[in-house]
């Protein structure tokens, strides 16, 4: 069955770089787009960026200068790296699969990984 | 980017009742609105896409309506497992954008 699972450090120092991994199963990264979405505590969801099935990427314009998404199709993994972390980057980070029926919505999500930015 | 305004932010109801959650887009998104349910410790669940199409596995007590800029999620005959957070998301254009969420609590 389709599964996505985020992993990464729970605590990151201010100004450092966050590295997260989304490990997927039950589908191919070359057939589906995988997105990253984040949610600050008690707040709404913010789209961060996407790894398109063809291998290209797009990013939220507000995060573009700090964000990088890549993948390893042989390991069924999508990676997120974001630099210059600040306290406002303390959020839960999700990866999600985009449904291909219509597009731009998400039929499967990971459970999320909570990241705290603090010294 | 399309701004999504969701209301109310909080809602209290009893099992068996019906509730409605509204979502308004800053410009027309045709029929392309999705609804998600969020519960602690669980993956977000897609309920409805394209405004009114139930995702496989979504109970029929959930329904979505609307087009253009105004949309509604209705839950009839509330079950205990329906309590949680609900989010709308436009999927008409890139980038996808979300509403601010509605917390549905037991009265």
Q: With contacts defined as CB-CB under 8 Å, which chain A residues touch B98? A: 44-47
pLDDT band at B60 (very low <50, low <70, confident <90, very high): very high
Tell me which chain A residue has its CA closest to the CA of residue B49: A105
How many contacts, defined by CB atoms under 8 Å, are there between A and B? 59
pLDDT band at B106 (very low <50, low <70, confident <90, very high): confident
Which residues in B have their CB inside 8 Å of a CB on A?
32, 34, 36, 41-46, 49-50, 55, 87, 89, 91-101
For residue A102, the model assigns a pLDDT of: 85
Which one of B34, B46, B98 has the shortest CB-CB distance to A44? B98
Look at A109 and B44 and tell me if their CB atoms are within 8 Å: yes
- Residue B52, Cβ neighbours under 10 Å: how many? 17
Written as one string, the DSSP assignment of A7-29 is: E--SEE-TTS-EEEEEEEESS-T
Which one of B91, B100, B101 has the shortest CB-CB distance to A105? B91
For residue B37, the model assigns a pLDDT of: 98
Percent of chain B predicted with pLDDT > 70: 100
**CA–CA dist B37, B39 (Å, integer):** 7
* pLDDT tens by residue, chain A, 119 residues: 999 999 999 999 999 999 999 999 999 999 999 999 999 988 899 999 999 999 999 999 999 999 999 999 999 999 999 999 999 999 999 999 999 888 899 999 999 999 999 99
For residue B81, the model assigns a pLDDT of: 94
**CA–CA dist A65, A84 (Å, integer):** 10
Q: What is the dihedral of CA A5, A8, A12, A17, to 10 degrees?
A: -100
| pLDDT tens digits, B6-56 | 999 999 999 999 999 999 999 999 999 999 999 998 999 999 999 999 999
Nearest to A57 by CA among B53, B76, B95: B95
| pLDDT tens digits, A76-85 | 999 999 999 9
For residue A75, the model assigns a pLDDT of: 98
Q: With contacts defined as CB-CB under 8 Å, which chain A residues touch B57? A: none
Which one of B50, B94, B99 has the shortest CB-CB distance to A44? B99
Residue A75 DSSP SS3: helix
Look at B95 and A103 and tell me if their CB atoms are within 8 Å: no
For residue B29, the model assigns a pLDDT of: 98
For residue A68, the model assigns a pLDDT of: 98
């Amino acid at each position: 069955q389709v599964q996505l699972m985020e992993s990464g450090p729970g605590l990151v120092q201010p100004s450092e770089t966050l590295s997260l991994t989304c490990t997927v199963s039950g589908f191919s990264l070359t057939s589906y787009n995988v997105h990253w979405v984040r949610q600050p505590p008690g707040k709404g969801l913010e789209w961060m960026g996407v790894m398109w099935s063809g291998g290209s990427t797009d990013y939220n314009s507000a995060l573009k200068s700090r964000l990088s998404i890549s993948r390893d199709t042989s390991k069924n993994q999508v990676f997120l790296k974001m630099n210059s972390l600040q306290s406002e980057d303390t959020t839960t980070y999700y990866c999600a699969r985009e449904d291909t029926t219509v597009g731009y919505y998400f039929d499967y999500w990971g459970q999320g990984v909570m990241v705290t930015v603090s010294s | 980017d399309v701004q999504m305004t969701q209301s109310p932010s909080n809602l209290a109801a009893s099992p068996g009742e019906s509730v409605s959650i509204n979502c308004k887009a800053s410009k027309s998104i045709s029929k392309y609105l999705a609804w998600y349910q969020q519960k602690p410790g669980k993956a977000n669940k897609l309920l409805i896409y394209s405004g009114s199409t139930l995702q496989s596995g979504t109970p029929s007590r959930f329904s979505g309506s609307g087009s253009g800029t105004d949309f509604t999620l209705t839950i009839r005959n509330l079950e205990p497992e329906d309590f949680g957070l609900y989010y709308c998301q436009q999927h008409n254009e890139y980038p996808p954008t979300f509403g601010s969420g509605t917390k549905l609590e037991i009265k």
